[in-house]
Amino acid sequence: MTVAADVRTEIELPDRSETANWWSRVRQFVRRNPLGAAGAIVIIVMFIMAALADFIAPYNPVANAFDRLHQPPSLENWFGTDQFGRDVFSRIVYGARTALLVGFVSSFIGASIGLVLGVGSAYFGGRTDLIFQRILDVFMAFPLIIMALAVISIFGTGAQNVIIAITIPFIPRCARVVRSSALAIREMPYIDAARANGFSHSRIILRHMVPNVMAPFLIMITAFVGQAILLEASLSYLGLGVQEPTPAWGLMLQGGAEEYAESAPWIAIFPGIAISLAVFGFSLFGDAVRDELDPKLRSQ
Amino acid sequence: MTAAYVTEPGAAPARAAVRSEDGTSPRERDTERRTVTAPDLITVHDLKMHFPVTEGALVPRVVAHVKAVDGISFTIRKGETLGLVGESGCGKTTTGRCILRLELATAGEILFDGNNLIELDRKSMNALRQKIQVIFQDPYSSLNPRMKIGEIIAEPMQVHRTEPDRAARAARVTELLRLCGLDPKFADRYPHEMSGGQRQRVGIARALSVRPEFIICDEAISALDVSIQAQIINLLEDLRDEFNLTYLFIAHDLSVVRHLCHRVAVMYLGKIVELAECDELYNNPMHPYTQALLAAVPVPDPEVERRRAHQIVKGEVPSPMNPPSGCVFHPRCRLAVEDCARAVPEFRELRLGHWVACSVI
């Protein structure tokens, strides 16, 4: 090497020390965002209920007991029993599984497809982008529930089809939000550097652009989960979602609300509370995640 | 005033054109050595980049063109550094982007190793991209914040398959980081953990990773602190000598260009107005715009600075959407005569290797 030593200033680097303490970050999050923390607690309780349903639920959620119909809340049946004698508390615990499964799977798949489509649309730009956005406009013109109903009427009912029905209306919503972030990323010099190096379109989109729009993507996912749970409950309530005897909150409302509203209100009240709490919890947590990930909105 | 139109406009001077003055600086010795055998590496001929301005959302209609680059020609020999200077918006960066084919030029040709970069299909162009690399101006946005330094440097090698296996790439990353004056431990870090100067070294390491022949330095030092600038300039100089690199050095800092470049082209509103050997241009600027540009460089002596005659160009730079007729500089030129508004000045070789686009001088 013919290079003078003073030009190449070697910069000595200390080894990385693990300063970011996980626990202190959690405490900081709770202090900065108490509402988000409350939402997180609701979500954690839901996860525990779903994971340990076999141990928490005192009764089999699908076993009928015709000797104990319409029992009011008591020590044996905490939330009472329904018109088939099934334990409402057990059904709510197992219902958390359905809610979380549908909520997470549909929002994750919907947001991921939207992510790739949105980034791709922004990356290719021009006419591709224009046509693609108009197609998304058509999808966006339908309200969530109408779109989901249309999909259900094509594919039929059942848990799997409910997931598809909820996934599809999420795709354009996520694609739209992600595209706007991706448009800014596209103009960054590191994307120019990738293009100047002849990287393939898929490499630029997946390795260089997608990781840089993760913040809006995560915000969309957390916001979608609550909506998906509500949508699943609505579809089930309309009899178009999960079918009996699967324990699902919307389904429990349907069975209980109409006929027994006066004589046995607990059949509808408790699943209603569960739905509200879950949606509330995910919205609060979603807002908190947005505040954490978006430095512009972060208030110190 | 001889218009010896014997070679391609903006061509590098032949062997005889090298000044026989007291060649004491290393650059001049280098110039001599370079021009003996060095063939042309890249030839830009009548390059035009006109961006359409559209109106109407649904059915776009082209209402005008921004003539960012409007017919420029130059040649860079292998191992040579050509400086491209001019004020903001004159088309220097667009020229670089056309060579990299980040923009598809409207007209003209860019010959690199006998290939016209404008007409190549995507596949052949991508194969050539290994030989043409770029260093960007802003070290903060030219590195992907989500990738580790090692990944950033290794990725071009992976794509161009210069180092097919992972271990070889890792070894090369270490070598490149050392070469650019960084601790190899940086390979595991993210860009946000580094300073501007360190990041720019990473940008240089990335450009070098696939052993290019030609590097476009697009304002590669203007975003850095003055003290860091000196380090990066020296690094670029050493790398040039070590690997026989050819640079297109785009800048607006005239003193840096003088230090680093062999020849300098001055651009104004999408056109090259003057092109000459570095010392020739600085000692004997012929075009009134170049003269004004050089006169604007402050003298580091307050007494001299206060007393010397300042030559101020009047008015603003006209819009490249609607450039002046004839010579684009004529509305602001102190030498302008009536004819300047009509005739586009010929790019003439007034001395050997000294090209000027002015019909008055």
Tokens 């001049």 belong to residue:
B28
Rounded CA gap, A152 and A164, in Å?
Answer: 8
pLDDT of residue A138: 92
- Which pLDDT tens digit goes with each residue over B34-79? 555 678 899 999 999 999 888 877 777 888 889 999 999 999 999 9
pLDDT band at A294 (very low <50, low <70, confident <90, very high): low
pLDDT of residue B296: 84
Is a pLDDT exceeding 60 seen at residue A110? yes
Within 10 angstroms of residue B354's Cβ, the number of other Cβ atoms is 20
User: Which of A28-32, A201-205, B260-264 has the lowest average pLDDT?
Assistant: A28-32
Interface with chain B: mutation pick from A11, A133, A191, A206, highest number of B CBs within 10 Å: A11
pLDDT of residue A248: 86
Is a pLDDT exceeding 70 seen at residue A45? yes
Residue contact B241–A2, C-beta within 8 A: yes
pLDDT band at B23 (very low <50, low <70, confident <90, very high): very low
The minimal CB distance from B100 to the residues A3, A196, A214 is found for: A196
- Which pLDDT tens digit goes with each residue over B140-191? 899 999 899 999 999 999 999 888 889 999 999 999 999 999 999 999 999 9
Q: Residue B67: which H helix or E strand, with range?
A: strand B61-77
Residue contact A13–B132, C-beta within 8 A: no
Q: CA B173 → CA B92, B245, B257, distances in Å?
A: 31, 19, 29
Tell me, yes or no, if A3 comes closer than 8 A to chain B by beta carbon: yes
pLDDT of residue A15: 56
How far apart, in Å, do the first and last CA atoms of chain B sit?
8
- B241-245 long-range contacts (CB < 8 A, ≥24 apart) are B241/A2, B241/B30, B242/A1, B242/A2, B242/A3, B243/B208, B243/B211, B244/B78, B244/B79, B245/B79, B245/B212, B245/B213, B245/B214, B245/B215
Residue contact A12–B143, C-beta within 8 A: no
Tell me, yes or no, if A11 comes closer than 8 A to chain B by beta carbon: yes
Dihedral, CA of residue A141, residue A146, residue A149 and residue A153, to nearest 10: -60
Tell me, yes or no, if A16 comes closer than 8 A to chain B by beta carbon: yes
Tokens 């013109």 belong to residue:
A141
pLDDT of residue A118: 94
The minimal CB distance from A198 to the residues B159, B185, B203 is found for: B159
Nearest CA in chain B to A206: B146
pLDDT of residue A299: 45
pLDDT of residue B278: 92
Residue contact B160–A212, C-beta within 8 A: no
Within 10 angstroms of residue B134's Cβ, the number of other Cβ atoms is 28
Tell me, yes or no, if B42 comes closer than 8 A to chain A by beta carbon: no
- Which pLDDT tens digit goes with each residue over A115-168? 999 999 999 988 899 999 999 999 999 888 888 898 898 988 888 889 999 999
Within 10 angstroms of residue A159's Cβ, the number of other Cβ atoms is 17
Residue contact A4–B183, C-beta within 8 A: no
pLDDT of residue B63: 85
Tell me, yes or no, if A12 comes closer than 8 A to chain B by beta carbon: yes
Does the predicted interface ipTM exceed a cut of 0.90?
no
Tell me, yes or no, if A1 comes closer than 8 A to chain B by beta carbon: yes
pLDDT of residue A220: 87
Q: CA B134 → CA A83, B6, B37, B102, B357, distances in Å?
A: 73, 33, 26, 11, 29
- For range A46-58, the mean pLDDT: 88
Tell me, yes or no, if A91 comes closer than 8 A to chain B by beta carbon: no
Rounded CA gap, A24 and A46, in Å?
Answer: 24
pLDDT of residue A2: 43
Is a pLDDT exceeding 50 seen at residue A3? no
CB A210 within 8 A of CB A268: no
Residue contact A195–B102, C-beta within 8 A: yes
Within 10 angstroms of residue A141's Cβ, the number of other Cβ atoms is 10
**Top-level CATH class of B15-57+66-131+212-357?**
alpha beta
Nearest CA in chain A to B151: A207
pLDDT of residue B16: 40
- Which pLDDT tens digit goes with each residue over B200-250? 999 999 999 999 999 999 988 888 888 889 889 999 999 999 999 999 999
DSSP state letter for B164: -
Please choose, from the candidates B214, B255, B213, the residue with its C-alpha nearest in 3D space to the C-alpha of residue B233.
B255
pLDDT of residue A5: 42
Dihedral, CA of residue A44, residue A50, residue A56 and residue A59, to nearest 10: 150
Nearest CA in chain B to A198: B126
Tell me, yes or no, if A5 comes closer than 8 A to chain B by beta carbon: no
**Alpha carbon of A4: minimum distance to chain B alpha carbons (Å):** 9
pLDDT of residue A73: 83
pLDDT of residue B176: 94
- Which pLDDT tens digit goes with each residue over B293-323? 888 888 888 888 888 777 777 788 888 888 8
Is a pLDDT exceeding 90 seen at residue A106? yes
Strands B81-85, B107-112: pairing kind: unpaired
Of chain B residues 145-184, which have a CB less than 8 A from chain A?
145-147, 155-156, 159-160, 178-183
User: Which of A6-15, A242-251, B139-148, B254-263 has the lowest average pLDDT?
Assistant: A6-15
Rounded CA gap, B124 and B112, in Å?
Answer: 12
Is a pLDDT exceeding 80 seen at residue A257? no
Tell me, yes or no, if A2 comes closer than 8 A to chain B by beta carbon: yes
Mean pLDDT, chain A, integer: 84
Of B246 and A24, more confident: B246
Mean pLDDT, chain B, integer: 85
Of chain B residues 221-240, which have a CB less than 8 A from chain A?
231, 234-235, 238
Tell me, yes or no, if B198 comes closer than 8 A to chain A by beta carbon: yes
Contacts of A217 in chain B (CB under 8 A): none
pLDDT of residue B96: 93
Tell me, yes or no, if B115 comes closer than 8 A to chain A by beta carbon: no
pLDDT of residue A199: 92
So where are chain B's domains? 15-57+66-131+212-357, 140-204
Domains of chain A, each with CATH number or no CATH: 33-57+81-293 (1.10.3720.10)
Query: Is the four-CA dihedral B159, B162, B165, B171 of positive or negative sign?
Result: negative
- How many Cα atoms are found within 13 Å in the side-chain-facing hemisphere of A195? 20
Please choose, from the candidates B96, B191, B99, the residue with its C-alpha nearest in 3D space to the C-alpha of residue B141.
B191
Within 10 angstroms of residue A85's Cβ, the number of other Cβ atoms is 17
- CB-based contacts of A154: which residues, under 8 Å, 6+ apart? none
